[in-house]
Structure formats: structure tokens, C-alpha cells
């Protein structure tokens, strides 16, 4: 069942919560109000924790110290007493400067609220602009609630993952808007409007919103790259230009020699720590370690911190990355053949990029899975998804969102070390579901499940469902 009204923008979310309405008809939307209240409670709880322990069980002191080190011409990447290593690009130190200037308690509280606000806005824009079908307000509220569950661990200790994930979602939503507008212009009014000034501004906005999270943290670089490869002539060069421009911002604040030294140390830090593992990492290499341990009879302790120095695993990372890129480009052709539209294409591409990131990306821990939470919840809650894959996506949700929690693994891992693989195995199941879903879309069975668009005629339906030659395609 589709909602008769399109989802509002993120800026309208507060007004709808205040008015308790779901659409211009002023229908009650208690579920959406409850979801937002739950997020407010989470933000309040994190704030109270920050007031009580501003420097314990939180990474914000590391961020605040990085700003102080930057403006004091000190190295960002040395190991300072009482602090863990700073692992972000120099641009990040500039970004957290206002929060650092406020002190650990006020700055930490504002940092947490910023992360919550950006992530919730990203979730809402993702629902509004990326999810291919329209949902009821109750389904959207459940999506927002479960999104909080996926982000809870990272938000609790002030990690940046929720903020970065929210920025990626906002950028993806901007890309979906401009691609859909250009696609509609191509069908309705021709090429000139599709390539007009308005479309150019839309492509620039998408490039900026996708470049910012990559410049702050390299984690989402792989999925952002896949999105850029869908429209390299419209998005690729803009994304590259904005990324370079943002990376040059530190040169406006410190002497060039100091900035060059910071970037040199950052690159050296990445190369030095590329093979280092922490006990909390959960990726494909974790699966290999656990299987080795079980096949050897379970003797000795798990070598979860053993360096990732296997040449075959590096080869597997490259091979799967190439396979993910090829699959996404294949879905671009499939979208054109079956008229699935840019939103569908962006959705499956983002999902595949984040899946690869969780399985084979760098430094993937439990808190990193906040990136995968929106596509996973979409697959779980989408009423028109692949019917034969409901069990598969249900198992993926159970492994990632329930059994993957640190408290569960700490309880079960001593006797059942296989529980340490729940996050990557759940991600692999999601990848299988995604491949099956994409193959199902465009088939006769899938088209028979689609309800007719309101106010549409059979002729219009035939035009919309026909293969398109998209102006956005390279």
C-alpha cells in the first residue's frame, strides 16, 4: 500500500512531530512522534553520560586534542599520554575545532547532538529520495526506531560513524533527486532541460555532500566511488574536484610546510597500521581466523589481533572490489532495460558498496555497521521486495542487529567462538539477498506485485515502464 503523499523533506520533520500530522490532511501520526521522542531520549541519555564522564568511554577527547595539536603546530599522529592515536585526515582536525574550543563537556554534548541530527536527517532523506517505493508513516517510524538501534553503540562513545553515515545518506539522497529530475526531464521535455543550470547545481550539491564524508574519514570511499561510476561525466569529475578542494583547506590555516608534514605523517600512519588488527574488528578476515581456530580443534586462544598479512586475502579484497564494480555497472544496464529508474539503481549500488565495505573494507568494527543499517532495514521493511528472500533478509537482520551486539558476543564467544562471525556472515547473507532482489526486479512476477500509480493511465504506465536511454548514463 502506497502513501498518497510524497515524504516531506528533513526540515519538515520537526513541524510534523510538533503538529502530530502525517500529511496535509492532518491525519494523526503518533508513530512518527514516538520515533522522534525515542531519538530525543537517546540524545538526552548520551548528554547525561557526557556530563558524568566527559573523558571516559568516549573518543571525543581524541578529537578535541587533535584540534589543539593542529593549531599548536604539533603532530596529529604521535601517541600522546592518556590518548589513543588520531587516525583521521587533517581536515577532520579543522572540522572539530569549534567543538574542541568549547571544552570536553559542552563540546562533547554538541558533537553527539550533531551526529544524531545529521544521521536522523540522513535516514529521513534516504526514505524520501532513495527508497524506490513509498511507505506508510508507521513503517517510516519503525525504520527510524531501528536506525537508532544500529547507531547506538557508536553514538554512546561519541564515534564519528553516525555523522559520516548521515552525510553519505544526505549525499546519496541529493544524487537520487538530481538523477531522477534529469531522468524525468529526458522523458518529458527533452535533453536541454535535463542538462540545464538547475541540473548542474544538483550535481554539484551531490558532489559536495558525498565528498565531505570521504574527506573527513576514508571509510565510505568505496561506496561513494561506486556511485560516482554510475554517472562519471556528471558526478565523477565534480566529486574529484570537490574532494581535492576540501583537502586543500588546511593550507589556508597553517604554513604549507606544516600541512605537508601532517599529510605525510597521515599517509605514513595509514601504511604503518594497514595490517594491524584490534580485537573488535568484524570482517571477512575475522571469519577466516575463527574457521582456522575451529578446524585446529579450538586449541589455544583466538588470534583476533594477528596482523592481516596474507597475500591471498589482499587478492580477495581486490577481486571482490572489481566484482562489486562490475555488478553495479551491470545493474545500470538492467535499470535501463527494465525502466527501473535512477532511485532503484542508486539504492542497489549503495547497498552493494556498503556490503563490500563491511566484508573487506579497512578497520571494520561493530560501530562501523551503522553504515549498513539503512539498506538492511530497507530490505527488511520493504513490502514489495523479493518474496522468496524474506527468510534470507530476516536471518541477516537477526545476525547483525541482534546476535552481533558486543554484550551477546562476550557472553557466548568463550563457548561458541563462531558467534564472532555473526556480523560478516549476516552481511554475506544480505549480499545474497541483494543479488536475488536485483535479479527479481523487472521480471514479470515483480511487475505483477506493483500497484498502479494513482492517476495514471495505461499509456503512461507503458511509457514509464519502458526501457529508457537515460541522459544520466555516461
Q: What is the pTM of this model?
A: 0.86
pLDDT per position as a tens digit, 83-93: 888 999 999 99
For residue 309, what pLDDT band results from cuts at 50, 70 and 90? confident
pLDDT surpassing 90 at residue 76: yes
Of the ranges 21-30, 299-308, 422-431, which is most confident? 422-431
Q: Which residues of 308-339 are buried (b: 16+ CB within 10 A; e: fewer)?
A: beeeeeeebbeebbeebbebbeebbebbbebb
How buried is 75 (Cβ within 10 angstroms: 0-12 exposed, 13-18 middle, 19+ buried)? middle
Neighbour count for residue 139 (Cβ, 10 Å): 16
CA distance 213 to 222: 12
CA distance 446 to 451: 11
Task: Identify the residue with better confidence: 328 or 79.
Answer: 328
Q: What is the mean pLDDT of residues 416-429?
A: 94
Predicted pLDDT at 5 = 46
pLDDT surpassing 90 at residue 459: no
For 122, the grid coordinates are 540522513
Predicted pLDDT at 411 = 86
Task: Identify the residue with better confidence: 385 or 61.
Answer: 61
Predicted pLDDT at 87 = 92
pLDDT per position as a tens digit, 117-135: 999 999 999 999 999 888 9
Evaluated on CA atoms 316, 319, 322, 323, the torsion sign reads negative
pLDDT surpassing 60 at residue 469: no
pLDDT surpassing 50 at residue 2: no
Q: What is the mean pLDDT of residues 370-381?
A: 96
Name the CA dihedral angle for 12, 147, 367, 129, rounded to a multiple of 10 degrees: -50
Predicted pLDDT at 471 = 35
Of the ranges 199-203, 246-250, 403-407, which is most confident? 246-250
pLDDT per position as a tens digit, 238-252: 999 999 999 999 999
Annotate 289-356 with three-state secondary structure: HHHHHHHCCCCCCCCCCCCCCCHHHHHHHHHHHHHHHHHHHHHHHHHHHHCCHHHHHHHHHHHHHHHH
Amino acid at each position: 500500500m502506497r502513501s498518497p503523499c510524497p515524504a516531506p523533506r528533513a526540515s519538515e520533520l520537526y513541524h510534523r512531530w510538533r503538529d502530530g500530522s502525517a500529511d496535509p490532511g492532518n491525519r494523526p501520526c503518533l508513530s512518527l512522534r514516538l520515533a522522534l521522542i525515542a531519538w530525543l531520549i537517546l540524545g538526552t541519555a548520551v548528554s547525561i553520560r557526557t556530563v558524568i564522564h566527559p573523558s571516559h568511554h568516549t573518543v571525543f577527547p581524541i578529537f578535541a586534542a587533535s584540534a589543539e595539536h593542529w593549531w599548536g603546530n604539533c603532530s596529529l599522529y604521535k601517541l600522546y599520554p592518556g590518548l589513543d592515536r588520531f587516525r583521521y585526515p587533517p581536515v577532520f582536525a579543522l572540522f572539530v575545532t569549534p567543538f574542541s574550543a568549547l571544552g570536553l563537556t559542552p563540546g562533547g554534548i554538541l558533537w553527539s547532538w550533531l551526529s544524531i541530527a545529521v544521521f536522523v536527517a540522513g535516514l529521513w532523506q534516504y526514505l524520501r529520495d532513495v527508497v524506490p517505493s513509498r511507505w506508510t508513516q508507521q513503517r517510516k517510524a519503525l525504520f527510524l526506531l531501528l536506525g537508532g538501534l544500529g547507531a547506538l553503540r557508536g553514538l554512546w562513545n561519541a564515534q564519528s560513524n553516525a555523522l559520516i553515515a548521515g552525510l553519505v545518506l544526505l549525499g546519496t539522497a541529493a544524487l537520487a533527486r538530481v538523477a531522477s529530475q534529469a531522468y524525468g526531464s529526458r522523458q518529458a521535455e527533452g535533453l536541454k532541460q535535463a542538462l540545464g543550470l538547475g541540473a548542474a547545481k544538483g550535481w554539484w550539491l551531490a558532489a559536495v555532500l558525498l565528498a565531505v564524508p570521504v574527506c573527513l574519514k576514508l571509510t565510505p570511499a568505496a561506496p561513494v566511488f561506486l556511485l560516482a561510476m554510475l554517472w562519471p561525466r556528471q558526478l565523477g569529475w565534480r566529486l574529484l574536484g570537490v574532494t581535492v578542494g576540501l583537502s586543500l583547506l588546511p593550507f589556508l590555516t597553517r604554513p604549507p610546510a606544516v600541512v605537508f608534514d601532517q599529510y605525510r605523517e597521515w599517509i605514513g600512519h595509514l601504511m604503518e597500521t594497514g595490517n594491524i588488527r584490534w580485537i573488535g574488528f568484524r570482517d571477512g578476515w575475522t571469519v577466516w581466523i575463527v574457521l582456522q581456530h575451529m578446524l585446529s580443534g579450538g586449541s589455544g586462544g583466538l588470534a583476533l589481533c594477528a596482523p592481516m598479512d596474507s597475500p591471498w586475502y589482499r587478492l580477495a579484497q581486490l577481486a571482490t572490489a572489481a566484482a562489486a564494480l562490475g555488478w553495479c555497472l551491470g545493474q545500470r544496464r538492467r535499470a535501463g532495460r527494465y525502466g527501473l529508474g535512477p532511485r532503484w539503481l542508486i539504492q542497489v549500488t549503495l547497498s552493494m558498496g556498503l556490503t563490500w565495505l563491511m566484508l573487506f573494507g579497512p578497520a571494520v568494527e561493530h560501530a562501523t555497521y551503522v553504515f549498513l543499517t539503512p539498506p538492511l532495514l530497507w530490505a527488511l521493511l520493504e513490502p514489495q521486495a523479493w518474496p522468496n528472500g524474506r527468510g534470507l533478509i530476516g536471518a541477516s537482520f537477526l545476525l547483525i542487529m541482534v546476535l552481533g551486539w558486543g554484550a551477546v558476543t562476550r557472553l557466548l564467544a568463550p563457548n561458541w567462538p563462531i558467534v564472532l562471525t555473526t556480523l560478516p556472515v549476516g552481511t554475506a547473507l544480505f549480499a545474497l539477498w541483494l543479488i536475488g532482489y536485483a535479479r527479481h526486479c523487472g521480471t514479470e512476477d515483480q511487475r505483477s506485485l506493483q500497484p498502479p500509480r494513482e492517476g495514471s493511465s495505461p499509456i503512461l504506465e507503458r511509457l514509464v515502464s519502458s526501457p529508457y536511454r537515460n541522459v544520466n548514463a555516461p
